[in-house]
Amino acid sequence: MASCSFCGRSVEGFPYSCNECGETHCGRHRLPERHECRGLARVSDRADEDAAFIGRTEEHDRQDGGVIARAFDAVLEPLRRLRR
């Protein structure tokens, strides 16, 4: 059974893995701000446009052909039509 990297308790159920530091945490400490994540410093150092998708860079977006941008456009297009 996995244990929380922050509090040391054994994790019941599904353990959470932080996207920024890679450590395993319990449900109480799953969010970066709840386990004093060392990865948060890296996120705050990124440019504003990179911080929109934590863990993704413009290079990632180019590699997958702008999938995220196309998905957002598909979702937002009906709302844009309503504003007109």
List, as one string, the DSSP characters of 26-67.
-STT-SGGGTT-THHHHHHHS-HHHHTSTT--HHHHHHTTSH
Q: Give me the chain's average pLDDT, please.
A: 76
pLDDT at 24 over 50: yes
State residue 58's pLDDT score.
62
Q: Are 10 and 1 in contact (CB under 8 A)?
A: yes
- The domain segmentation of the chain, as residue ranges, is 1-45, 56-84
- Percent of the chain at pLDDT > 70 equals 65
pLDDT at 45 over 70: no
- Residues linked to residue 80 through DSSP beta bridges, in sequence order: none
pLDDT at 55 over 60: no
Does the pTM exceed 0.85?
Answer: no
Q: Which residue has better confidence, 84 or 50?
A: 84
For domain 1-45, the question of CATH label 4.10.1110.10 is answered with yes
Find tokens 């400490």 and name the residue.
29
State residue 44's pLDDT score.
55
Using CB atoms within 10 Å of the CB of residue 61, give its burial: 0 to 12 exposed, 13 to 18 middle, 19+ buried.
middle
Q: What angle do CA 81, 65, 69 make, to 5 degrees?
A: 30
